Amino acid sequence: MKAPSPMDFPTFLQRIPKVDLHCHLVGTLRQQTLAELALRYGLALPRPAHALYDFADFYDFLDVLRLAASSLRSGDDFARVTYEALEDGHRLGNLRHAELLFNPQYFYPHGVTYRTMIDGMREGLAAARSDFDVSALLVPSFDRMIDARGAMQILDDILAYRPDEVIGIGLDGAERSGPPARFADVYDRAGRAGLKRTAHVCEDNQTLEEAPPRHYAICRDILGCDRLDHGYNLLADPAMAARARDEGLFFNTCTVTSVTRNLERRRASIVQMVALGLNVTVNTDDPVMFKTDIADCYQRLFADQPQWGVAQARLFSVNGVAASWLGQNEKASLLESFKLELASLENELAGTVL
């Protein structure tokens, strides 16, 4: 009988248990699902379903993003795409827990109530949990295009209906269109109400003037953020990066960006953040729209870093659990199960199958 072939390192990366803490629901829509939903609501597709995510440029990407946001209207729509997002993560990269960001402001204009969104997503989460043993939490987020008053109105809705799955708030979109300080009152109220807080900050598709390192201090000192998304531009200010390291804050970085020319720089920044001792997790951002998945995000990041090896893979895997907003008990039991699975896969990789 032929001995089983040894596992290669990319396969090891694909199989290890993972968490995705920076994943936008609208970026997870399968092309076919988006095409079907758009058809149902009489929305025109810019091109055939199989090529929907072949973006011509950044503006084309934004158009498709808008189309995706207009195509989610009923609770069933939200349930379906939430379920599919978790199914894809489970199937492609052994995703075990996700925290999904979504922007209520994208859906209100089409008559969708906040409760419809939440109940639909909860239905999808429950079905995925029972079918794939993947857990997930929800993070309603504000696109910075909104003003402080609009954000406060959304927070009214968030605070008026708070099932356990809604764990915190986020802030995304271009930093130049809404500096973090604008949302001080919204974040303060959310924090006092017991919601966790994150924000996209120091994102590298924007200049150092648009997304400067000092935004880190604002997110911490004024917004009271518990963790942050991205963070690459922080590297331009060694003192601020040292502060972030000393504070031990987690950065939910993403290997892939829509701006192709920045892909290499993005990966280099994540590598540098790790080298500086920052706490880093690996995430997908907009996986299907960016033609990636959680396993691919690990594989691409490790491709040029032979020195990282198993130890760094293990660290990213358990960092995802540590940075999650799960309750203490759930976190401890997920960590335990990650450690067992990692040990078994490490044995298999080393060719010492027990």
The residues that touch Zn ion, with contacts defined as CB under 5 A, are: 285
The SS3 assignment for 208 reads coil
CB nearer Zn ion, residue 75 or residue 287:
287
CB nearer Zn ion, residue 237 or residue 285:
285
CB nearer Zn ion, residue 199 or residue 349:
199
CB nearer Zn ion, residue 175 or residue 285:
285
CB of 342 to Zn ion, least distance (A): 27
Give all strands of the β-sheet with 279-283 in edge-to-edge order.
200-201, 228-230, 250-254, 279-283
Amino acid found at 18? K
Phi, psi of 89 (to 5 degrees): -60, -45
Q: With beta carbons less than 8 A apart as the criterion, state whether 169 and 141 touch.
A: yes
CB of 36 to Zn ion, least distance (A): 25
Distance of CA 324 to the CA centre of its chain: 11
CB of 285 to Zn ion, least distance (A): 5
CB of 4 to Zn ion, least distance (A): 39
CB of 229 to Zn ion, least distance (A): 6
Nearest alpha carbon to residue 319 among 250, 236, 235: 250
CB nearer Zn ion, residue 77 or residue 172:
172
Phi, psi of 234 (to 5 degrees): -60, -25
CB nearer Zn ion, residue 86 or residue 345:
86
Q: 3-state DSSP: the chain helix, strand, coil percent, rounded to 5?
A: 55, 15, 30
Amino acid found at 320? G
Report the first-to-last Cα separation within the chain, whole angstroms: 18
CB of 8 to Zn ion, least distance (A): 30
In the bound complex, which residue of the shown chain has the CB atom lying closest to Zn ion? 285
Q: What is the token pair recorded at 271?
A: 């590598």
The length of the chain is 354
Q: For the residues of 141-164, what is the DSSP string, one character each?
A: EEETTS-HHHHHHHHHHHHHS--T
- Longest CA–CA span in the chain (Å) reads 69
CB of 337 to Zn ion, least distance (A): 27
Q: What is the token pair recorded at 239?
A: 């003192």
Half-sphere exposure of 221 (CA within 13 A, CB side): 9
CB nearer Zn ion, residue 77 or residue 285:
285
CB of 219 to Zn ion, least distance (A): 14
CB nearer Zn ion, residue 139 or residue 318:
139
